[in-house]
Structure 1
Amino acid sequence: MSVPNVLTIAGSDPSGGAGVQADLKTFGALGAYGCAVLTSLTAQSTKGVTGVHHVPAGFVREQVETLVDDVELAATKIGMLGSAEVVAVVGELVCRGGLGEVVLDPVMVSTAGSRLLDEDAVEGVRALLPVVDLVTPNTAEAAVLLGLTPHAAARDLDEMHRHAQALLDLGAARVLLKGGHVAGDESVDLLVDGTGVRELSARRVPTRHTHGTGCTLSSAIAALRPRGDAWAETVAQAKDWLTGALTHADELSVGHAAGPVHHHWALWPRG
Protein backbone atom coordinates (compact mmCIF):
# COMPACT_ATOMS: atom_id res chain seq x y z
CA MET A 1 0.00 0.00 0.00
CA SER A 2 1.44 3.35 -1.02
CA VAL A 3 -0.76 5.05 1.60
CA PRO A 4 -1.25 2.77 4.62
CA ASN A 5 -4.67 2.34 6.18
CA VAL A 6 -4.44 2.76 9.95
CA LEU A 7 -7.28 2.16 12.42
CA THR A 8 -8.03 3.76 15.76
CA ILE A 9 -10.27 1.94 18.23
CA ALA A 10 -11.00 4.57 20.86
CA GLY A 11 -13.43 7.01 22.41
CA SER A 12 -14.65 10.34 21.10
CA ASP A 13 -13.52 13.74 22.39
CA PRO A 14 -15.82 16.57 21.22
CA SER A 15 -13.08 19.14 21.87
CA GLY A 16 -10.94 17.43 19.23
CA GLY A 17 -7.80 17.27 21.32
CA ALA A 18 -7.77 13.61 22.31
CA GLY A 19 -9.40 10.30 21.41
CA VAL A 20 -10.50 9.40 17.91
CA GLN A 21 -10.42 13.01 16.74
CA ALA A 22 -6.77 13.45 17.72
CA ASP A 23 -5.87 10.06 16.25
CA LEU A 24 -7.38 10.84 12.86
CA LYS A 25 -5.63 14.23 12.73
CA THR A 26 -2.35 12.53 13.57
CA PHE A 27 -2.79 9.80 10.96
CA GLY A 28 -3.46 12.36 8.25
CA ALA A 29 -0.62 14.63 9.30
CA LEU A 30 1.82 11.71 9.08
CA GLY A 31 0.70 10.33 5.72
CA ALA A 32 -1.67 7.54 6.71
CA TYR A 33 -5.34 7.08 5.84
CA GLY A 34 -7.33 6.98 9.07
CA CYS A 35 -10.19 4.62 9.90
CA ALA A 36 -12.04 4.76 13.22
CA VAL A 37 -14.13 2.51 15.47
CA LEU A 38 -15.84 4.24 18.39
CA THR A 39 -15.91 2.59 21.81
CA SER A 40 -17.24 5.44 23.95
CA LEU A 41 -18.83 8.85 23.65
CA THR A 42 -17.70 11.50 26.10
CA ALA A 43 -19.02 14.90 27.04
CA GLN A 44 -15.85 16.89 27.54
CA SER A 45 -14.03 20.11 26.83
CA THR A 46 -10.61 21.45 27.69
CA LYS A 47 -11.96 21.86 31.25
CA GLY A 48 -12.60 18.14 31.76
CA VAL A 49 -15.02 15.24 31.27
CA THR A 50 -18.62 15.60 32.45
CA GLY A 51 -20.05 12.35 31.10
CA VAL A 52 -19.22 9.03 29.44
CA HIS A 53 -21.49 6.76 27.41
CA HIS A 54 -20.06 3.38 26.38
CA VAL A 55 -20.86 1.86 22.99
CA PRO A 56 -22.26 -1.69 23.43
CA ALA A 57 -19.57 -4.33 23.00
CA GLY A 58 -21.51 -6.14 20.30
CA PHE A 59 -21.62 -3.02 18.16
CA VAL A 60 -17.90 -2.41 18.67
CA ARG A 61 -17.37 -5.93 17.32
CA GLU A 62 -19.65 -5.23 14.34
CA GLN A 63 -17.79 -2.03 13.51
CA VAL A 64 -14.42 -3.81 13.45
CA GLU A 65 -15.59 -6.92 11.62
CA THR A 66 -17.36 -4.90 8.93
CA LEU A 67 -14.28 -2.75 8.39
CA VAL A 68 -11.75 -5.59 8.33
CA ASP A 69 -13.89 -7.50 5.82
CA ASP A 70 -13.29 -4.68 3.33
CA VAL A 71 -10.18 -2.67 4.26
CA GLU A 72 -6.61 -3.94 4.55
CA LEU A 73 -5.12 -2.44 7.70
CA ALA A 74 -1.40 -1.86 8.19
CA ALA A 75 -1.62 -0.90 11.86
CA THR A 76 -4.10 -0.26 14.66
CA LYS A 77 -3.98 2.04 17.67
CA ILE A 78 -6.17 1.03 20.62
CA GLY A 79 -7.09 3.78 23.05
CA MET A 80 -10.02 4.25 25.44
CA LEU A 81 -12.03 1.03 25.71
CA GLY A 82 -14.25 1.98 28.63
CA SER A 83 -15.86 -1.24 29.78
CA ALA A 84 -14.77 -4.79 30.57
CA GLU A 85 -17.07 -6.12 27.85
CA VAL A 86 -15.46 -3.95 25.18
CA VAL A 87 -11.98 -4.86 26.42
CA ALA A 88 -12.83 -8.56 26.04
CA VAL A 89 -14.22 -8.10 22.53
CA VAL A 90 -11.22 -6.08 21.38
CA GLY A 91 -8.88 -8.72 22.80
CA GLU A 92 -10.65 -11.40 20.76
CA LEU A 93 -10.44 -9.29 17.61
CA VAL A 94 -6.72 -8.62 18.07
CA CYS A 95 -6.07 -12.35 18.45
CA ARG A 96 -8.13 -13.08 15.35
CA GLY A 97 -5.83 -10.88 13.21
CA GLY A 98 -6.44 -8.47 10.39
CA LEU A 99 -5.55 -5.36 12.39
CA GLY A 100 -1.90 -5.13 11.36
CA GLU A 101 0.59 -4.25 14.07
CA VAL A 102 -1.17 -3.08 17.22
CA VAL A 103 -0.24 -0.22 19.56
CA LEU A 104 -2.11 -0.17 22.89
CA ASP A 105 -2.48 3.08 24.81
CA PRO A 106 -4.04 1.87 28.10
CA VAL A 107 -6.27 4.88 28.75
CA MET A 108 -7.64 4.72 32.29
CA VAL A 109 -7.95 8.19 33.80
CA SER A 110 -7.90 11.62 32.18
CA THR A 111 -5.26 14.16 33.18
CA ALA A 112 -8.01 16.06 35.01
CA GLY A 113 -8.79 12.93 37.04
CA SER A 114 -11.92 11.61 35.32
CA ARG A 115 -12.13 7.80 35.17
CA LEU A 116 -12.26 6.59 31.55
CA LEU A 117 -12.06 2.84 32.22
CA ASP A 118 -14.37 0.87 34.52
CA GLU A 119 -12.51 -0.62 37.48
CA ASP A 120 -13.53 -4.16 36.54
CA ALA A 121 -11.90 -3.72 33.10
CA VAL A 122 -8.32 -3.28 34.35
CA GLU A 123 -7.63 -7.01 34.45
CA GLY A 124 -8.83 -7.31 30.87
CA VAL A 125 -6.45 -4.56 29.72
CA ARG A 126 -3.65 -6.36 31.56
CA ALA A 127 -4.52 -9.49 29.56
CA LEU A 128 -4.03 -7.54 26.32
CA LEU A 129 -0.32 -6.99 27.01
CA PRO A 130 0.87 -10.29 25.49
CA VAL A 131 -1.22 -9.95 22.31
CA VAL A 132 -0.31 -6.41 21.16
CA ASP A 133 2.97 -5.28 19.61
CA LEU A 134 3.57 -2.23 21.82
CA VAL A 135 1.97 -0.83 24.99
CA THR A 136 2.43 2.87 25.81
CA PRO A 137 1.45 3.60 29.44
CA ASN A 138 2.31 6.72 31.37
CA THR A 139 3.75 6.17 34.83
CA ALA A 140 0.36 6.12 36.60
CA GLU A 141 -1.12 3.67 34.07
CA ALA A 142 1.93 1.44 34.41
CA ALA A 143 1.45 1.36 38.18
CA VAL A 144 -2.21 0.31 37.81
CA LEU A 145 -1.29 -2.41 35.30
CA LEU A 146 1.19 -3.72 37.86
CA GLY A 147 -1.49 -3.93 40.53
CA LEU A 148 -0.38 -0.79 42.34
CA THR A 149 -2.24 2.46 42.96
CA PRO A 150 -1.68 5.49 40.70
CA HIS A 151 0.02 7.13 43.69
CA ALA A 152 2.74 4.47 43.41
CA ALA A 153 3.70 5.70 39.95
CA ALA A 154 7.43 5.89 39.20
CA ARG A 155 8.95 9.14 40.44
CA ASP A 156 12.37 8.87 38.84
CA LEU A 157 14.21 7.09 36.06
CA ASP A 158 15.32 4.17 38.23
CA GLU A 159 11.73 3.40 39.22
CA MET A 160 10.68 3.71 35.59
CA HIS A 161 13.25 1.08 34.63
CA ARG A 162 11.86 -1.29 37.27
CA HIS A 163 8.24 -0.76 36.27
CA ALA A 164 8.97 -1.16 32.56
CA GLN A 165 10.77 -4.45 33.19
CA ALA A 166 7.89 -5.63 35.37
CA LEU A 167 5.47 -5.00 32.49
CA LEU A 168 7.68 -7.10 30.25
CA ASP A 169 7.50 -9.83 32.87
CA LEU A 170 3.69 -9.74 32.52
CA GLY A 171 4.13 -10.78 28.88
CA ALA A 172 4.33 -7.51 26.98
CA ALA A 173 6.44 -7.73 23.82
CA ARG A 174 7.47 -4.05 24.01
CA VAL A 175 6.81 -1.26 26.47
CA LEU A 176 7.10 2.46 25.91
CA LEU A 177 6.91 3.86 29.43
CA LYS A 178 6.26 7.60 29.12
CA GLY A 179 8.01 9.88 31.58
CA GLY A 180 6.22 13.13 30.86
CA HIS A 181 4.92 13.35 34.45
CA VAL A 182 8.35 12.75 36.00
CA ALA A 183 10.08 15.98 37.02
CA GLY A 184 13.11 17.15 35.07
CA ASP A 185 14.29 19.53 32.35
CA GLU A 186 13.81 16.77 29.78
CA SER A 187 10.99 14.30 29.16
CA VAL A 188 12.51 10.82 29.14
CA ASP A 189 10.60 7.80 27.86
CA LEU A 190 11.82 4.22 28.09
CA LEU A 191 11.43 1.77 25.21
CA VAL A 192 11.97 -1.73 26.59
CA ASP A 193 11.83 -5.12 24.88
CA GLY A 194 13.55 -8.47 25.13
CA THR A 195 16.77 -7.06 23.70
CA GLY A 196 17.27 -4.22 26.17
CA VAL A 197 16.32 -0.66 27.09
CA ARG A 198 16.52 2.57 25.11
CA GLU A 199 16.10 5.99 26.72
CA LEU A 200 14.41 8.54 24.48
CA SER A 201 14.83 12.13 25.63
CA ALA A 202 13.23 15.35 24.42
CA ARG A 203 13.28 18.87 25.74
CA ARG A 204 10.35 19.69 27.97
CA VAL A 205 8.19 22.23 26.13
CA PRO A 206 6.92 25.10 28.32
CA THR A 207 3.21 25.00 27.47
CA ARG A 208 0.05 24.14 29.39
CA HIS A 209 -1.59 22.91 26.20
CA THR A 210 -0.92 19.19 26.52
CA HIS A 211 -4.43 17.76 26.18
CA GLY A 212 -4.32 14.50 24.23
CA THR A 213 -0.55 14.09 24.32
CA GLY A 214 -0.71 10.36 25.08
CA CYS A 215 -3.35 9.68 22.42
CA THR A 216 -1.33 11.63 19.89
CA LEU A 217 1.97 9.85 20.58
CA SER A 218 0.49 6.36 20.31
CA SER A 219 -1.38 7.23 17.10
CA ALA A 220 1.80 8.78 15.65
CA ILE A 221 3.63 5.50 16.29
CA ALA A 222 0.84 3.55 14.58
CA ALA A 223 0.87 5.93 11.58
CA LEU A 224 4.65 5.71 11.16
CA ARG A 225 5.03 1.99 11.82
CA PRO A 226 4.06 0.86 8.25
CA ARG A 227 7.20 2.58 6.89
CA GLY A 228 9.10 -0.49 8.01
CA ASP A 229 11.63 1.16 10.32
CA ALA A 230 12.73 -0.59 13.48
CA TRP A 231 10.51 0.02 16.49
CA ALA A 232 13.10 2.23 18.17
CA GLU A 233 13.35 4.45 15.09
CA THR A 234 9.58 4.61 14.70
CA VAL A 235 9.08 5.65 18.33
CA ALA A 236 11.88 8.22 18.13
CA GLN A 237 10.36 9.78 15.00
CA ALA A 238 6.92 9.90 16.65
CA LYS A 239 8.36 11.54 19.77
CA ASP A 240 10.19 14.15 17.69
CA TRP A 241 6.99 14.96 15.80
CA LEU A 242 5.05 15.26 19.07
CA THR A 243 7.66 17.69 20.39
CA GLY A 244 6.88 19.87 17.36
CA ALA A 245 3.15 19.60 18.05
CA LEU A 246 3.73 20.71 21.65
CA THR A 247 6.08 23.51 20.59
CA HIS A 248 3.39 25.01 18.34
CA ALA A 249 0.42 24.31 20.65
CA ASP A 250 0.22 27.93 21.79
CA GLU A 251 -0.62 28.96 18.22
CA LEU A 252 -4.09 27.48 18.73
CA SER A 253 -6.90 28.97 20.79
CA VAL A 254 -9.18 26.13 21.84
CA GLY A 255 -11.14 26.48 25.07
CA HIS A 256 -10.18 28.09 28.36
CA ALA A 257 -8.13 25.36 30.09
CA ALA A 258 -5.48 22.92 28.91
CA GLY A 259 -5.83 22.99 25.14
CA PRO A 260 -4.71 20.47 22.52
CA VAL A 261 -1.34 20.05 20.88
CA HIS A 262 -1.06 21.31 17.29
CA HIS A 263 -1.52 18.19 15.16
CA HIS A 264 -1.08 20.14 11.91
CA TRP A 265 1.95 22.17 12.95
CA ALA A 266 4.07 20.98 10.03
CA LEU A 267 1.32 21.46 7.43
CA TRP A 268 -0.48 24.72 8.07
CA PRO A 269 0.95 27.99 6.73
CA ARG A 270 2.10 30.64 9.17
CA GLY A 271 1.88 34.37 8.72
Structure 2
Amino acid sequence: MTPTTVLTVAGSDSGGGAGIQADLKVFAALGVYGTSVLTAVTAQNTRGVDAVLPLPPQTVTEQLDSVLSDFAVRAVKTGMLGTPAVAAAIADAAAAGRLPQLVVDPVLVATSGHRLGVVAAVERLLPYARVATPNSAEAAALTGAAVTDVAEMTTAARALASGGPEWVIVTGGDVDAGGEAVDVLHGPGGTTVLRAPRVPTRHSHGTGCSFSAATAVRLALGDSVPAAVASAKEYVTRALTGARDWELGAGRGPLDHFGWSA
Protein backbone atom coordinates (compact mmCIF):
# COMPACT_ATOMS: atom_id res chain seq x y z
CA MET A 1 0.00 0.00 0.00
CA THR A 2 1.28 3.47 -0.88
CA PRO A 3 1.73 5.51 2.31
CA THR A 4 -0.10 8.77 2.92
CA THR A 5 2.13 11.84 2.54
CA VAL A 6 2.33 14.68 5.08
CA LEU A 7 4.44 17.85 4.84
CA THR A 8 6.18 19.80 7.59
CA VAL A 9 7.32 23.41 7.09
CA ALA A 10 9.61 24.31 9.98
CA GLY A 11 13.10 25.06 11.25
CA SER A 12 15.74 22.53 12.15
CA ASP A 13 16.85 21.40 15.59
CA SER A 14 20.45 20.20 15.71
CA GLY A 15 19.63 18.39 18.97
CA GLY A 16 16.95 16.39 17.17
CA GLY A 17 14.19 16.95 19.73
CA ALA A 18 12.01 19.52 17.99
CA GLY A 19 11.44 21.15 14.62
CA ILE A 20 11.82 19.29 11.33
CA GLN A 21 13.65 16.42 13.00
CA ALA A 22 10.87 15.80 15.54
CA ASP A 23 8.15 16.14 12.92
CA LEU A 24 9.71 13.54 10.65
CA LYS A 25 10.08 11.16 13.60
CA VAL A 26 6.40 11.56 14.42
CA PHE A 27 5.41 10.97 10.80
CA ALA A 28 7.44 7.77 10.67
CA ALA A 29 6.21 6.56 14.05
CA LEU A 30 2.57 7.05 13.04
CA GLY A 31 2.89 5.41 9.65
CA VAL A 32 2.91 8.20 7.06
CA TYR A 33 5.54 9.37 4.56
CA GLY A 34 7.13 12.64 5.63
CA THR A 35 8.25 15.47 3.37
CA SER A 36 9.80 18.72 4.56
CA VAL A 37 10.43 22.38 3.80
CA LEU A 38 13.17 23.94 5.89
CA THR A 39 12.65 27.57 6.94
CA ALA A 40 15.70 28.09 9.15
CA VAL A 41 18.75 26.36 10.52
CA THR A 42 19.19 26.54 14.27
CA ALA A 43 22.04 25.64 16.58
CA GLN A 44 20.35 24.23 19.65
CA ASN A 45 20.41 21.46 22.20
CA THR A 46 18.45 20.52 25.30
CA ARG A 47 19.69 23.64 27.11
CA GLY A 48 18.52 26.21 24.58
CA VAL A 49 18.92 27.89 21.21
CA ASP A 50 22.38 29.25 20.48
CA ALA A 51 21.90 30.59 16.95
CA VAL A 52 19.24 30.93 14.22
CA LEU A 53 19.86 31.35 10.50
CA PRO A 54 16.61 32.03 8.59
CA LEU A 55 16.59 30.86 4.98
CA PRO A 56 15.69 33.25 2.14
CA PRO A 57 11.99 33.22 1.21
CA GLN A 58 12.88 32.15 -2.34
CA THR A 59 14.69 29.06 -1.02
CA VAL A 60 11.68 28.19 1.12
CA THR A 61 9.32 28.65 -1.83
CA GLU A 62 11.50 26.53 -4.10
CA GLN A 63 11.42 23.67 -1.59
CA LEU A 64 7.65 24.00 -1.27
CA ASP A 65 7.15 24.00 -5.04
CA SER A 66 9.35 20.92 -5.43
CA VAL A 67 7.39 18.93 -2.86
CA LEU A 68 3.91 20.00 -3.95
CA SER A 69 4.63 19.44 -7.65
CA ASP A 70 5.56 15.80 -7.09
CA PHE A 71 3.79 14.46 -3.99
CA ALA A 72 0.08 14.12 -3.17
CA VAL A 73 0.32 15.86 0.20
CA ARG A 74 -2.72 15.15 2.37
CA ALA A 75 -1.93 17.48 5.29
CA VAL A 76 0.57 20.20 6.14
CA LYS A 77 1.89 21.45 9.45
CA THR A 78 3.92 24.58 10.01
CA GLY A 79 6.26 25.30 12.89
CA MET A 80 8.96 27.93 13.14
CA LEU A 81 8.68 30.33 10.20
CA GLY A 82 11.44 32.65 11.34
CA THR A 83 10.68 35.84 9.41
CA PRO A 84 7.61 37.75 8.21
CA ALA A 85 8.80 37.29 4.61
CA VAL A 86 8.84 33.50 4.94
CA ALA A 87 5.46 33.56 6.70
CA ALA A 88 4.09 35.67 3.85
CA ALA A 89 5.34 33.14 1.29
CA ILE A 90 3.70 30.27 3.17
CA ALA A 91 0.51 32.29 3.66
CA ASP A 92 0.37 32.97 -0.09
CA ALA A 93 0.57 29.23 -0.74
CA ALA A 94 -2.19 28.61 1.80
CA ALA A 95 -4.38 31.33 0.28
CA ALA A 96 -3.97 29.66 -3.11
CA GLY A 97 -5.33 26.42 -1.65
CA ARG A 98 -2.03 24.56 -1.91
CA LEU A 99 -1.72 23.55 1.78
CA PRO A 100 -4.48 21.04 2.61
CA GLN A 101 -5.55 20.31 6.19
CA LEU A 102 -3.20 23.03 7.47
CA VAL A 103 -2.10 22.72 11.10
CA VAL A 104 -0.33 25.85 12.36
CA ASP A 105 1.93 25.48 15.37
CA PRO A 106 2.64 29.16 16.11
CA VAL A 107 6.22 28.81 17.28
CA LEU A 108 6.89 32.13 18.99
CA VAL A 109 8.64 30.90 22.13
CA ALA A 110 10.50 27.61 22.34
CA THR A 111 10.06 25.34 25.36
CA SER A 112 13.47 26.53 26.52
CA GLY A 113 12.24 30.13 26.55
CA HIS A 114 14.03 31.47 23.48
CA ARG A 115 11.95 33.62 21.12
CA LEU A 116 12.19 32.15 17.60
CA GLY A 117 9.68 34.13 15.58
CA VAL A 118 7.53 37.22 15.57
CA VAL A 119 3.82 37.51 16.26
CA ALA A 120 3.09 39.30 12.98
CA ALA A 121 4.57 36.43 10.98
CA VAL A 122 2.25 33.88 12.53
CA GLU A 123 -0.81 36.13 12.41
CA ARG A 124 -0.39 36.29 8.64
CA LEU A 125 -0.90 32.53 8.40
CA LEU A 126 -3.56 31.84 11.04
CA PRO A 127 -6.63 32.67 8.88
CA TYR A 128 -5.78 29.72 6.60
CA ALA A 129 -5.38 27.15 9.36
CA ARG A 130 -7.79 24.31 9.89
CA VAL A 131 -6.21 23.89 13.32
CA ALA A 132 -3.95 26.19 15.32
CA THR A 133 -2.06 24.66 18.25
CA PRO A 134 -0.56 27.41 20.45
CA ASN A 135 0.77 26.60 23.89
CA SER A 136 -0.18 28.89 26.75
CA ALA A 137 2.75 31.27 26.22
CA GLU A 138 2.11 31.52 22.48
CA ALA A 139 -1.60 32.06 23.06
CA ALA A 140 -0.76 34.87 25.46
CA ALA A 141 1.57 36.49 22.92
CA LEU A 142 -1.04 36.24 20.16
CA THR A 143 -3.96 37.56 22.22
CA GLY A 144 -2.10 40.02 24.44
CA ALA A 145 -3.79 38.56 27.52
CA ALA A 146 -2.56 36.34 30.33
CA VAL A 147 -3.05 32.59 29.90
CA THR A 148 -2.32 31.00 33.25
CA ASP A 149 -5.29 28.72 33.99
CA VAL A 150 -7.99 26.70 32.23
CA ALA A 151 -10.46 29.59 32.17
CA GLU A 152 -7.92 31.88 30.49
CA MET A 153 -6.99 29.08 28.07
CA THR A 154 -10.66 28.86 27.09
CA THR A 155 -10.91 32.60 26.56
CA ALA A 156 -7.75 32.60 24.46
CA ALA A 157 -8.93 29.68 22.30
CA ARG A 158 -12.21 31.43 21.55
CA ALA A 159 -10.46 34.72 20.80
CA LEU A 160 -7.99 33.12 18.41
CA ALA A 161 -10.71 31.13 16.66
CA SER A 162 -12.58 34.36 15.98
CA GLY A 163 -9.54 35.55 14.03
CA GLY A 164 -9.56 32.88 11.35
CA PRO A 165 -8.59 29.31 12.28
CA GLU A 166 -11.45 26.83 12.06
CA TRP A 167 -10.28 25.16 15.26
CA VAL A 168 -7.88 26.28 18.01
CA ILE A 169 -6.42 24.07 20.71
CA VAL A 170 -4.50 25.83 23.46
CA THR A 171 -2.14 23.31 25.00
CA GLY A 172 -1.53 23.66 28.71
CA GLY A 173 1.51 21.59 29.52
CA ASP A 174 2.94 24.50 31.50
CA VAL A 175 -0.33 25.43 33.21
CA ASP A 176 -0.86 24.28 36.78
CA ALA A 177 -4.04 22.19 36.66
CA GLY A 178 -3.74 20.02 39.74
CA GLY A 179 -1.60 17.20 38.42
CA GLU A 180 -3.26 17.08 35.01
CA ALA A 181 -2.11 18.17 31.56
CA VAL A 182 -5.10 20.12 30.26
CA ASP A 183 -5.71 21.33 26.69
CA VAL A 184 -8.67 23.42 25.52
CA LEU A 185 -10.15 22.88 22.03
CA HIS A 186 -12.56 25.39 20.50
CA GLY A 187 -14.23 25.21 17.11
CA PRO A 188 -17.56 24.86 15.32
CA GLY A 189 -18.65 22.19 17.79
CA GLY A 190 -18.04 24.40 20.81
CA THR A 191 -15.39 24.06 23.51
CA THR A 192 -13.93 20.80 24.81
CA VAL A 193 -11.41 20.30 27.63
CA LEU A 194 -8.98 17.41 27.15
CA ARG A 195 -7.33 16.00 30.25
CA ALA A 196 -4.55 13.51 30.89
CA PRO A 197 -2.31 12.77 33.87
CA ARG A 198 0.72 15.05 33.93
CA VAL A 199 3.94 13.13 33.26
CA PRO A 200 6.72 14.20 35.67
CA THR A 201 9.79 14.41 33.44
CA ARG A 202 12.42 16.83 32.23
CA HIS A 203 12.15 15.25 28.78
CA SER A 204 9.58 17.61 27.30
CA HIS A 205 11.52 19.33 24.51
CA GLY A 206 9.52 19.28 21.29
CA THR A 207 6.11 18.51 22.79
CA GLY A 208 4.40 21.23 20.74
CA CYS A 209 6.06 20.15 17.50
CA SER A 210 5.19 16.53 18.16
CA PHE A 211 1.58 17.31 19.07
CA SER A 212 0.95 19.38 15.95
CA ALA A 213 2.71 16.82 13.75
CA ALA A 214 0.60 14.01 15.19
CA THR A 215 -2.55 16.09 14.64
CA ALA A 216 -1.61 16.59 10.99
CA VAL A 217 -1.04 12.85 10.58
CA ARG A 218 -4.47 11.95 11.91
CA LEU A 219 -6.16 14.60 9.74
CA ALA A 220 -4.34 13.19 6.70
CA LEU A 221 -5.65 9.75 7.59
CA GLY A 222 -9.23 11.00 7.73
CA ASP A 223 -9.94 11.81 11.38
CA SER A 224 -12.16 14.70 12.42
CA VAL A 225 -10.39 17.52 14.23
CA PRO A 226 -11.62 16.48 17.71
CA ALA A 227 -10.54 12.89 17.06
CA ALA A 228 -7.19 14.00 15.63
CA VAL A 229 -6.23 16.18 18.60
CA ALA A 230 -7.36 13.52 21.08
CA SER A 231 -5.16 10.96 19.30
CA ALA A 232 -2.25 13.42 19.22
CA LYS A 233 -2.59 14.04 22.96
CA GLU A 234 -2.49 10.31 23.66
CA TYR A 235 0.61 9.95 21.47
CA VAL A 236 2.49 12.78 23.19
CA THR A 237 1.56 11.43 26.63
CA ARG A 238 3.04 8.05 25.67
CA ALA A 239 6.16 9.72 24.27
CA LEU A 240 6.65 11.75 27.45
CA THR A 241 6.17 8.66 29.58
CA GLY A 242 8.63 6.63 27.54
CA ALA A 243 11.38 9.24 27.88
CA ARG A 244 10.74 9.94 31.56
CA ASP A 245 13.88 8.22 32.83
CA TRP A 246 16.19 8.94 29.90
CA GLU A 247 19.51 10.73 30.35
CA LEU A 248 19.87 12.64 27.08
CA GLY A 249 21.36 16.11 27.38
CA ALA A 250 21.65 18.32 30.43
CA GLY A 251 18.45 20.31 29.95
CA ARG A 252 14.97 19.53 28.65
CA GLY A 253 15.49 16.33 26.74
CA PRO A 254 13.59 14.86 23.77
CA LEU A 255 10.54 12.60 23.70
CA ASP A 256 10.39 8.87 23.07
CA HIS A 257 8.84 9.22 19.61
CA PHE A 258 9.15 5.56 18.66
CA GLY A 259 8.09 3.90 21.89
CA TRP A 260 11.55 2.53 22.58
CA SER A 261 10.89 2.46 26.33
CA ALA A 262 7.42 0.90 26.12
Aligned pairs (5 A) from 1:1-271:
2-117=2-117, 119=118, 122-146=119-143, 148=144, 152-184=145-177, 185-265=179-259, 268=260
Aligned residue identity for 1:132: A
Long gaps (5+) in structure 2: none
Contact 1:73 1:98 in 2 (8 A): no
How far apart in 1 are the matches of 2:169 and 2:228? 12
How far apart in 2 are the matches of 1:2 and 1:200? 33
**Percent of counterpart pairs with the same letter?**
46
State the TM-score, normalized to the length of structure 1. Answer: 0.92
How far apart in 2 are the matches of 1:177 and 1:201? 12
Contact 1:217 1:239 in 2 (8 A): yes
Contact 2:129 2:164 in 1 (8 A): no
How far apart in 2 are the matches of 1:90 and 1:252? 36
| 1:198 counterpart SS class | strand
How far apart in 2 are the matches of 1:17 and 1:252? 13
Q: Which shifted more, 34-43 or 220-229?
A: 220-229
Q: Per-residue deviation at 1:160? A: 1.2
State the TM-score, normalized to the length of structure 2. Answer: 0.96
| 2:38 counterpart SS class | strand
How far apart in 1 are the matches of 2:126 and 2:49? 27
Aligned length in residues: 261
Superposed CA RMSD: 1.4
